[in-house]
Amino acid sequence: MSAARTTRAAELRQLLQRAAHAYYVLDAPLMEDPVYDRLYRELLELEAAQPELISPDSPTQRVGGAPAEGFSSVEHRIGLLSLDNAFSLEELEAWYGRLLKVLDRTPEPGAPLPQLPMVGELKIDGNALALSYDHGLLVRAATRGDGERGEEITANVRTIQSVPLRLQLEQPPAWLEVRGEALIPDGTFMAINAERASRGEALFANPRNACAGTLRQLDPKVVAARRLDFFAYTLHLPDGWQPAPTTQWESLQWLRAAGFKVNPNAELLPSLAAVEGFFAQWEEGRKALPYATDGVVVKLNDLRLQADAGFTQKAPRWAIALKYAAEEAPSKLLRLACQVGRTGVITPVAEFEPVPLAGTTVGRATLHNADRLAELDLHAGDTIVVRKAGEIIPEVVRVLSELRPAGAVRLQLPHTCPECSSQLVREEGEAATRCVNSSCPAILRGALRHWVSKGALDVDGLGSKLIEQLVDRGLVGSIADLYRLDAALLASLERMGAKSAENLVAALAASKAQPWHRQLYGLGIHHVGEVNAKALAQAFPSVGELATAAAHTPEAITAVFGIGEQIAQSLQQWFATAANQRLLEQLEALGFSLAATEPELAQAAARAHGSGDAALQGQTFVLTGTLPSLSRSQAQALIEAAGGKVSGSVSKKTSYVVAGAEAGSKLTKAESLGVAVLDEAGLQALLAG
C-alpha cells in the first residue's frame, strides 16, 4: 500500500468529517458544496483503487453495503428507561415533592422549599436511540425496544449526518454510551410526503411515525434519502474515567465537544419557578421550531444527586416529562365495551366514531374503572370529547351533556364477566372490579401472555394469536399445559408449519432453564414486578421457602428491601389458593426447579460475603444527606455486599444512620432515638472490619 495514498486518505477523512460536523451540527459551513464534493470523490476513488484504505469512520461508509435481511435483537449495555409524565404544574410540583422526600430534603412545615438546580430540555417528538462507541468509533446503534433490548440498526444510523462516526476527542474513553432522539424535521417530512403523493403511495401520518418507519428500513440508501437528524442528550462513561461531567449541564457541553448535535434550547434552571417559566415560554415558542415537540424534560442537574434519587421499576426519579395540553376532538359514543385483564380486572372501553388526533385516527379509549365511568356520567349515544394523553394514549376528557339524546340510558359496568359470565367482585377500598374465576378464558390468555413475555420466561414464537387459538380450542387450560403440547398438534393450528411448531416446542423446553426470579415474575402474582421478583428470589431461594414465609412469617418478606405489606399480603393470598398450589406442583413435575440454581446461589453468597467477610451481617442502616465521595446507591451497594440492610426510615431497630452534608429529618430522628450516627469515614471503617 502506498504511504502517500494512506496519508492522503487520512487527510481527506479528517477534512470531510470536520466539514460535515460544521455543516450538519454547527450550521456553519467550512467549504462550498462543490469543494466538498470534489474531496469526497477523491476519497472515493482512492478507496476504490485500494479497498484496504476504507475505514469504518470514512464518510463514504455512511451509506454502503447491501440491504439487510432483518434486524437482530441486542441487549443494551445500560437500559433505556422511559420517563414518567406530568400533565400540569400541579403534577410537576408533586413530582418535585417526591424528589425532595427521596433525597431526604423535605422542609419542615412552613419552611420554604429547597431549590435544586435543574436542566430544562425540549421533549423532541422522535425516536430514542442508543449509540455505542468503542475507543471513539461508532460500533453499534439500537432502538429503545423494551428498554433492555432493542433492534440493532447501525447501518441506518450511520446515514444520519449529525451522528459522528468517530468522536472528536484526542483521547476518547474505552467505551461510551450516548442516548438521543432521531427525528425528521417538519420541512423534510412535508417533502417526503409530497414525493410519496406524486408516486401514489400512502402518506406518513406524522414526522414521528415517518422517523420510526425510516429507521426500520432494510435498505440504508432509503434511510439516507430521508435525511434524518439527531439530538444527543445523555451520556454514560466508564467508572473512574476523567475528566467526567458532574452535572447534566456539563454532560451536554461534553457531548457538543465530542462532536454531537445538542438541542440549543436547553437551559440551566435554578428553581422550580424557573422550570415553570421555561415550560410556559416554550408552549408558544415551540410552534416556530422546525421540528415537533410535545413538552419539556426536566432533569435534576447534579449527577450525584441523580444517583442518590435512583429509579423506580420503570423510570428515573430525578427526571420527568412535562407535557403540553393535548389536541382534543368531539365524537359520538357508539358503545361501551369491557376488557378482562390477566388479573381479572374489568376495564371499560369507550368505542366512538373515529376521529383524527395528533396525527393518527382513533376510535377507542379506556375509561379505567367504574369510578371514572360514574364520574363522566356517560350515557348511550353521548357526544364525548376525546384527546391523546401525552399525545399517545386516547382518553375521554368529558361528556357534552347538553347534546345528550332524549331518554338516553346511563351506562355502567356489567354485573357478570363478559368472557365467562361469572359474578364480578369489587372489594371494599379498591377501585378495580374483578372476575375472580381462575378458569376464565380471558384471565388464562393474559396469564399465558405474561408467562412467555420478555421479562418472564421469554418464549419466542408464542404470540397472542396462537395463545387465543390454544385457549379457544381448549388445548391449554393452564401455564403447565403449554409444556404438554407436541409439535404435531401445534403444526395443525392456523399459521403454524412443522418447522415453527418444532421451534416452539424447543423454545418451551429451553425456558425451563430460566432463572428463579424470572419464573417467579412469570407467575403473575399481583404487585410482584420484575424488580420485586429479583429481590424476593434473592431472599428466598426456592418457591417452598417463599410460600412458607408468606403463610407463617410475613415479616420476613417485608424485611426485604423495597417489599411492603401489600406485596406480602398478595403473596399470602396467592399461595393460599388451591389452583395456584396445583400449578406449582404441575410445573415441578414438568421439570421446573422453581428455585435458584447452584450458580445463582453461589453468586448470591458472593454478594453477601463480598466485602469485609459479611462484616455488617444483621445490621440495618439508613442513609441521609450527601456523602463526600460515595453516592447513595454506591453506599447502599457496599452495605448490602457486606451483609447489611439499607432502610428508608429510622426506627429503634436501626443500627446506624450514615449522615452526610445537608442531612435532614432522618438525622434529627436518629438523635432523638439515640441511634448511632456515622459519617462516611465511619462507614468505611465498619466495612473494613
In a domain, 81, yes or no: no
- Specify whether the CB–CB gap between 590 and 618 falls below 8 A: no
pLDDT at position 218: 82
Domain boundary among 477, 511, 545: 511
Residues in a beta bridge with 328 = 387
Q: What is the CATH number of the domain that holds 635?
A: 3.40.50.10190
CB atoms within 10 A of CB 465: 11
In three-state secondary structure terms, 379 is strand
In three-state secondary structure terms, 482 is helix
> Residues for the chain: how many in total?
689
Contacts of 32 (CB under 8 A, 6+ apart): none
pLDDT at position 21: 75
State pLDDT tens for residues 10-47: 888 888 878 877 765 665 667 765 566 667 778 878 88
Quote the number of domains for the chain. 6
| b/e per residue 53-63 (b: at least 16 CB within 10 A) | beeebbbbbbb
Is the pLDDT higher at 670 or at 318?
318
In a domain, 640, yes or no: yes
Location of C-alpha cell 486518505: 9
State pLDDT tens for residues 379-396: 999 999 898 755 567 889
Is 239 exposed, middle or buried, given 0-12, 13-18 or 19+ CB atoms closer than 10 A? exposed
Q: What is the CATH number of the domain that holds 220?
A: 3.30.470.30
**pLDDT(83) > 70:** yes
Cα separation, 584 vs 582, in Å, equals 5
Q: What are 439's three cell numbers? A: 378458569
Location of C-alpha cell 456539563: 250
Give Rg (Cα) of the chain.
29
**pLDDT interval class at 689 (50, 70, 90):** low
Q: Tell me how far the alpha carbon of residue 527 is from its chain's centroid.
A: 18
pLDDT at position 68: 52
Contacts of 553 (CB under 8 A, 6+ apart): none
One domain for residues 587 and 679: no
Q: What are 643's three cell numbers? A: 451483609
Cα separation, 400 vs 181, in Å, equals 39
The range of the structural domain enclosing residue 554 comes to: 516-607
Is the pLDDT higher at 311 or at 606?
311
pLDDT at position 26: 67
Look at residues 571, 582, 678, 580 and name the one whose alpha carbon lies nearest to residue 635: 678
Cα separation, 689 vs 685, in Å, equals 6
Cα separation, 584 vs 444, in Å, equals 16
One domain for residues 182 and 283: yes
Q: What are the counts of helices (DSSP H) followed by strands (DSSP E) for the chain?
A: 25, 22
Q: What are 653's three cell numbers? A: 431497630
**pLDDT interval class at 612 (50, 70, 90):** very low
Cα separation, 101 vs 455, in Å, equals 30
**pLDDT(608) > 90:** no
State pLDDT tens for residues 510-543: 999 999 999 999 999 988 888 788 889 989 999 9
Look at residues 676, 642, 640 and name the one whose alpha carbon lies nearest to residue 659: 676
One domain for residues 479 and 627: no
Q: Tell me how far the alpha carbon of residue 531 is from its chain's centroid.
A: 13
In a domain, 109, yes or no: no
In a domain, 101, yes or no: no
pLDDT at position 34: 58
What are the CA-CA distances from residue 686 to residues 109, 610, 655, 678, 682 (Å)? 36, 14, 12, 10, 6
One domain for residues 45 and 138: no
Cα separation, 59 vs 62, in Å, equals 6
pLDDT at position 611: 42
Q: What is the CATH number of the domain that holds 479?
A: 1.10.150.20
Tell me the average pLDDT across 330-358.
Answer: 90
pLDDT at position 119: 98
Domain boundary among 269, 292, 323: 323
Location of C-alpha cell 345528550: 404
**pLDDT(454) > 70:** yes
Domain boundary among 577, 607, 637: 607
Is 475 exposed, middle or buried, given 0-12, 13-18 or 19+ CB atoms closer than 10 A? middle
**pLDDT interval class at 194 (50, 70, 90):** confident
One domain for residues 677 and 599: no
Cα separation, 568 vs 553, in Å, equals 10
In a domain, 82, yes or no: no
Cα separation, 477 vs 437, in Å, equals 13
pLDDT at position 1: 56
In three-state secondary structure terms, 448 is helix
Backbone phi, psi, residue 338, to 5°: -135, 135
pLDDT at position 27: 55
**pLDDT(438) > 80:** no
Cα separation, 490 vs 357, in Å, equals 41
In whole numbers, what is the pLDDT of the chain averaged over residues?
Answer: 87
Q: What is the CATH number of the domain that holds 12?
A: 1.10.287.610
Cα separation, 521 vs 272, in Å, equals 38
One domain for residues 129 and 200: yes
Contacts of 8 (CB under 8 A, 6+ apart): 42, 46
424-425 and 620-624 strand pairing: unpaired
Query: For the chain, what percent of residues have pLDDT higher than 90?
Result: 49
pLDDT at position 391: 52
Is 366 exposed, middle or buried, given 0-12, 13-18 or 19+ CB atoms closer than 10 A? middle
User: Is 123 among the catalytic positions?
Assistant: yes
State pLDDT tens for residues 458-511: 999 999 899 999 999 999 999 999 999 999 999 999 889 999 999 999 999 999
**pLDDT(610) > 50:** no
**pLDDT interval class at 269 (50, 70, 90):** very high
One domain for residues 497 and 626: no
Query: For the chain, what percent of residues have pLDDT higher than 70?
Result: 93
Tell me the average pLDDT across 243-264.
Answer: 96
Q: Which long-range contacts (CB under 8 A, 24 or more apart) does 263-270 make?
A: 263/121, 263/122, 263/124, 263/231, 263/233, 265/121, 265/122, 265/289, 266/119, 266/120, 266/121, 266/122, 267/119, 267/120, 268/117, 268/119, 268/301, 269/117, 269/118, 269/119, 269/120, 269/298, 270/115, 270/117
Q: What is the CATH number of the domain that holds 363?
A: 2.40.50.140
Cα separation, 89 vs 82, in Å, equals 20
**pLDDT(573) > 50:** yes
In three-state secondary structure terms, 106 is coil
One domain for residues 172 and 241: yes
pLDDT at position 635: 85
The conformation of residue 97, written as its DSSP 8-state character, comes to H
Tell me the average pLDDT across 214-239.
Answer: 90
One domain for residues 467 and 451: yes
**pLDDT(322) > 50:** yes
Q: Which region, left, alpha or beta, applies to residue 460 given φ > 0 means left and ψ of -120 to 50 means alpha?
A: beta
- Specify whether the CB–CB gap between 643 and 609 falls below 8 A: yes
In a domain, 142, yes or no: yes
In a domain, 50, yes or no: yes
One domain for residues 366 and 489: no
Which helix (H) or strand (E) segment holds residue 653: the answer is none
Residues in a beta bridge with 332 = 383
C-alpha dihedral sign at 467, 471, 476, 479: positive
One domain for residues 206 and 318: yes
One domain for residues 680 and 580: no
In a domain, 171, yes or no: yes
Cα separation, 608 vs 390, in Å, equals 43
